[in-house]
Amino acid sequence: MNMYKHVVGRVPVKSARSVEWPTLCLLVLCYALWGLGTSVVAGLFLPLGMVLVTLAAVLHSSLSHEALHGHPFRQRARNEALVFPALTLLIPYQRFRDTHLAHHHDAILTDPYDDPESNYLDLDVWERLPAPARAVLSFNNRLIGRLLIGPLVGQAAFMAADWRAIRGGDRAVLRGWLWHIPALALVVLWMGALGQMPLWAFLLSTYAALSVLKIRTFLEHQAHLRARGRTVIIEDRGLLALLFLNNNLHVVHHMHPKLPWYRLPKLYFGNRARYLACNDGYMFPSYGEVFRRYLFKAKDTVPHPLWRRP
The tally of domains found in the chain comes to 1
Question: Domain range holding 145?
Answer: 18-294
State residue 18's pLDDT score: 79
Q: Is residue 11 part of a domain?
A: no
Q: Is residue 304 part of a domain?
A: no
Q: Is residue 26 part of a domain?
A: yes
Is 13 a residue whose pLDDT tops 70? Answer: no
How many Cβ atoms from other residues are within 10 Å of residue 242's Cβ?
Answer: 17
List Cβ neighbours of 156 (8 Å cut-off, separation of 6 or more): none
Is 284 a residue whose pLDDT tops 90? Answer: yes
Full-model pTM: 0.93
Per-residue pLDDT tens over the stretch 107-154:
999 999 999 999 999 999 999 999 999 999 999 999 999 999 999 999
Is 273 a residue whose pLDDT tops 60? Answer: yes
Q: Which residues in 114-153 are b (16+ Cβ under 10 Å) and which e?
A: ebbbbbbbbbeebeeeeeeebebbebbbbbebbbbbbbeb
Q: Is residue 300 part of a domain?
A: no
Q: Is residue 299 part of a domain?
A: no
Is 7 a residue whose pLDDT tops 90? Answer: no
How many Cβ atoms from other residues are within 10 Å of residue 203's Cβ?
Answer: 12
More confident position, 308 or 58 = 58
Q: Is residue 2 part of a domain?
A: no
State mean pLDDT over 193-209: 98
State residue 6's pLDDT score: 46
- How far apart, in whole angstroms, are the C-alpha atoms of residue 73 and residue 17? 9
Is 195 a residue whose pLDDT tops 90? Answer: yes
Q: Is residue 151 part of a domain?
A: yes
Question: What is the overall mean pLDDT for the chain?
Answer: 93
Q: Is residue 203 part of a domain?
A: yes
Cα angle 33, 35, 39 (rounded to 5 degrees) comes to 115
Is 51 a residue whose pLDDT tops 50? Answer: yes
Is 305 a residue whose pLDDT tops 70? Answer: yes
Is 9 a residue whose pLDDT tops 60? Answer: no
State mean pLDDT over 148-165: 96
